[in-house]
Amino acid sequence: MSVNQSQLAHRGALLTLLRRLHFYIGLFIGPFIFIAALTGTLYVLTPQLENALYHEALRTPDTGQNLPFSQQIAAARQYIGDDARIAAVRPAPYPGDTTRVQFVDPALGESESRAIFVSPATLAIQGDLTVYGTSGVLPLRTWIDQFHRALLLGDTGRIYSELAASWLWVAALGGVVLWLTSRPKRKLKVRQTPQRKARHWHITLGVALLLGLLFFSATGLTWSQWAGGNIDKMRSSLGWMTPQVNTALVPQTGHQQHDPHAEHHAMMPGMVMPKTDDTVWDQVLVAARGAGIESSKIEIRPARSADKAWTVTEIDRAWPTHVDAAAVDPTSFKVVDRTWFADFPLVAKLTRWGIDAHMGVLFGLANQLLLAAFGMGLCAMVILGYRMWWLKRPAASASNPAQTLSEAWLALPGTWRAGVVIIALIFGYCLPVMGASLLLFIIADIGRWRKNALKLQTS
């Protein structure tokens, strides 16, 4: 065999390996990608529906001068009971909006709190609902979010979304490589069978959505349980974590590191929420406004313990992004630390924008519509992939022996085989769910390979 023929054979074996891996991802991971895309689409399309569904709690018909902030909080306390501890308060951002006073409730789930919605003008209680995380979503979107994230199965269910995010970028890039290496140099007129039509639209959508597939895979992995932990370690070692205000009331240097996915985490176990005079809220808010916290949408959190400061954080994540924060001493009402989004490292800014774009809030309605189109396109890609397999399956099984990862890997030269193993080990370590699922792929593939080899020997 000549050198050129040998190179072509090795290239063909490598493409066969990629083709079989692409097939396995589509066949076994496709359903999880489909669920993630569908539930993600529902999530980004429901803010307006949620606003309409909970309109009575979110909006108030009462007009007039807003009463002092402390009186609004006192009204919520009176409604729920003086023993309840406040987790956070969100003052009414605009005229006609209600103030949201969020209380700790041990009966609720992780990152959930009980929110009392108060009319700022009359102190009337407009609603009593469970809210979730920093995003502050209400029950409808909380259910969709938790289904999207973990199939309502808690931490165990998070494996599904990490599995989808881990393989999505591999499927996307692998599909493009296969298309680029298999398309004819000139267009040939061929009969358009149903299988060819499905393949055409599967490829067209894959190329059109490529950047989005890579973006959602990357941002989804930052939320994941195991790969996300590895990403956080890498970001921390490189100094790429998001700065957070230092709440210590004793002299310390530097800002703390902040998790941009904090909306998906529970409050610290044993967190202490000291009960205070409600007038403190007024003075903390005034101090933060004086320190440059200007956004209409803010959240005030009391200290976790007596030696910590209160925090006032901007929560407007639309464009331009307002997420500045200040830490305020609740005794002297001095600002002990501040963080400005403008001063964030570039990677921290990109992380914030990426997360908000993923959630459909960065550019408002345009962001929602774009994500909805992407999500439906990805769902269509998965369906078309299954259609291609189903239409081709009878003919393939009737005439050709099964091609496997094992056959393609063994056809590679020794150095290439070693390179494939090293790459698989690296990604398996960095993305543990990918590594575990790849091991299952290999076990199943070896079984098919041995069965095929035995069939060839006996024929």
pLDDT tens, position by position, 150-164? 999 999 999 999 999
Same-domain check for residues 259 and 340 = yes
Same-domain check for residues 287 and 403 = no
- What is the structure's pLDDT at 263? 46
Is residue 68 reached through a cis peptide bond, with omega within 30 degrees of 0 on the bond before it?
A: no
Model confidence over 30-50: pLDDT tens digits? 999 999 999 999 999 999 999
Is 28 a domain residue?
yes
- What is the structure's pLDDT at 315? 96
Same-domain check for residues 335 and 410 = no
Contact between 21 and 28 (Cβ < 8 Å)? no
Same-domain check for residues 354 and 244 = yes
Count Cα neighbours of 408 within 13 Å in the Cβ-side half-sphere: 19
Q: From 342, 364, 386, give the residue that closes a domain.
A: 364
Same-domain check for residues 277 and 372 = no
Mean local confidence (pLDDT), 407-423: 93
Q: How many domains does the chain have?
A: 2
- Indicate the range of 201-210, 249-258, 299-308 predicted with least confidence: 249-258
pLDDT band at residue 176, thresholds of 50, 70 and 90?
A: very high
Is 119 a domain residue?
no
Whether 395 has a pLDDT exceeding 70, the answer reads: no
- What is the structure's pLDDT at 63? 79
- Indicate the range of 156-160, 180-184, 297-301 predicted with least confidence: 180-184
- What is the structure's pLDDT at 404? 84
pLDDT band at residue 459, thresholds of 50, 70 and 90?
A: low
| Strand spans (E) along 179-316 | 242-244, 256-258, 298-301, 310-314
- What is the structure's pLDDT at 457? 73
Is 59 a domain residue?
no
- What is the structure's pLDDT at 64? 85
Mean local confidence (pLDDT), 80-100: 95
pLDDT band at residue 399, thresholds of 50, 70 and 90?
A: very low
Is 284 a domain residue?
yes
pLDDT band at residue 269, thresholds of 50, 70 and 90?
A: very low
* Contacts for 400 with CB less than 8 Å, ≥ 6 apart: none
270: domain range?
227-364
Per the model's pLDDT, the better-predicted residue between 278 and 268 turns out to be 278
Q: Which amino acid is at 133?
A: G
Whether 265 has a pLDDT exceeding 50, the answer reads: no
Same-domain check for residues 305 and 394 = no
Q: Which amino acid is at 114?
A: R
Same-domain check for residues 204 and 257 = no
User: CA geometry: angle at 148 spanning 147 and 154, to 5°?
Assistant: 50
Same-domain check for residues 19 and 164 = yes
Is 383 a domain residue?
yes
Whether 288 has a pLDDT exceeding 60, the answer reads: yes
Q: From 364, 385, 404, give the residue that closes a domain.
A: 364
- What is the structure's pLDDT at 268? 39
- β-pair partners for 116: 101, 128
Residue 207's alpha-carbon distances to 5, 210, 220, 317, in angstroms, are: 30, 5, 20, 30
What value does the CA radius of gyration of the chain take, rounded to a whole number of Å?
Answer: 27
Distance CA 111, CA 310 (A): 19
Whether 400 has a pLDDT exceeding 60, the answer reads: no
Residue the block writes with tokens 């005794």? 331
Same-domain check for residues 219 and 233 = no
Same-domain check for residues 304 and 412 = no
Mean local confidence (pLDDT), 249-255: 63
pLDDT band at residue 452, thresholds of 50, 70 and 90?
A: confident
Distance CA 209, CA 215 (A): 10
Whether 412 has a pLDDT exceeding 70, the answer reads: yes
Whether 456 has a pLDDT exceeding 90, the answer reads: no
Distance CA 226, CA 383 (A): 29
For residue 147, give the nearest of 34, 226, 44, 39 by alpha carbon. Answer: 39
Same-domain check for residues 354 and 371 = no
Q: From 364, 390, 425, give the residue that closes a domain.
A: 364
Average pLDDT across the chain, whole number = 90
Same-domain check for residues 200 and 329 = no
